[in-house]
A and B are shown apart, each in its own frame.
Chain A
């Protein structure tokens, strides 16, 4: 179970969000949507302390962290229970696809290189890149790089995978293969929080869609409900605009 309670983040004087509450059950898939600049990515980054929240409580599995008093050990423990997929893939440029996936298992989980590589090969098969094991990121397409990024997240065996606009930086021709892989993970009941503008994905895959605007969660509901009967006027306006741009 993942729970966020009263999460607050500000940069200087600017408050990004004040008191965000969000709760997920194991296996639940949440898609966060909303206009740009409303703090969706920042919220995601607060969950693993890539941004340090200024206040609030975080629970991930059996770990509970108070943001104001989080110790370095707690932050590490939190990061080991979560995995992150970056918009720009953020692969380790000096490591092959296989090594990118195995790295965390070796360094963080303390697996032997052999064991980690064996597991990484299985993951490469699952993400359909078995033949690219020894390729470096620079030689992979955007779609392939992002699939390796997802593979790296899968390797962490995390309670939850956080996806920060995983397809936004991709050329259109690679978007489907990445979404396809995410759907595959969803079908395996991987707990995930996905920040995305892909409404069709939200509609098909999400258990719950969360709409954020100006640092607030305005409403959340299963996609069928949220897309067809948005309650709040801001949600209606956003959906109208985005669905006109990308009909789902």
Chain B
């Protein structure tokens, strides 16, 4: 057992932090795309849109039913062999794509549950005013479903940030990849991975604060 090399750890922090933007960028891009896709899937599932509903069910089933790592390998190493125009897909794009598809499957289900939970009489009220189904969704149902789904969606976002670490298996030098390289050259594995663990932890903790603030804001309309 050797003493913790604190100087090495402190020196590592700024180096690793310089990779944080890439990690957060991939997560943010994945989250945005996943939100859009998940909302679409949820609306399809709720309205049981003919034709697309079966597709949505199958999509959700597959991307929830297989590991993210398998999906990433499938997109990055596998798919270009079949669809040759994908040969130029880079690791970052593949990661964002994988995160989007994987997490949208989970998020679709929580958005769907939130939509179904909106009091039916508000739907009727919106229809009675003369709104179309689309207007009803956009103006009344989705804003309220968002509030209900926010805590769960934030959890998925946190999970997604951590899952970006899998990108290093596709050769992307992000936070985890950079740590791996640093550790391999210094042989101080414990120190390096401890630092990166703390960085992830602090980021997630900061997000939990954002989540709290967001929930309070969204709940404003419901305080008596």
Contact = CB atoms under 8 A, between A and B. Distances in A.
A84 interface: yes
Interface in A136-192: 136, 138-139, 152, 156
Interface size grouping (class) on chain A: 20 to 34
Contacts of B139: 103, 107
A136 B222 contact: yes
Interface in A19-70: 48, 50
Contacts of B147: 94
A67 B162 CA distance: 56
A88 B121 contact: yes
Contacts of A222: none
B132 A92 contact: no
Contact of A107 (B135, B222, B224): B135
Contacts of A6: none
Interface stretch (A75-83, A113-121, A122-130, A205-213): A75-83
A92 B222 CA distance: 11
Given A93-B221, A94-B144, A94-B221, A108 B124 contact: no
A187 to B, nearest CB: 24
A149 to B, nearest CB: 8
Nearest to B129: A104
Contacts of A76: 130, 132
A76 B222 CA distance: 30
Interface string B102-137: 000000000000000001011011111111100100
B12 interface: no
B125 A86 contact: yes
B223 A139 contact: yes
Contacts of A84: 124-125, 128
B21 interface: no
A79 B135 CA distance: 14
A15 interface: no
Contacts of B140: 92, 94
B143 interface: yes
A88 B126 CA distance: 14
A232 B38 CA distance: 59
A83 to B, nearest CB: 7
Contacts of B143: 94
A75 B26 CA distance: 46
Contacts of A104: 129-131
Interface string B193-224: 00000000000000000000000000011111
Q: Which residue, of B130, B132, B222, B224, has the highest number of chain A Cβ atoms within 10 A?
A: B130
Contacts of B122: 90-93
The 8 closest A-B pairs by CB, nearest first: A84-B128, A104-B129, A90-B125, A90-B121, A80-B130, A136-B221, A108-B130, A79-B130
Interface of A: 48, 50, 76, 79-80, 82-84, 86, 88, 90-96, 103-104, 107-108, 136, 138-139, 152, 156
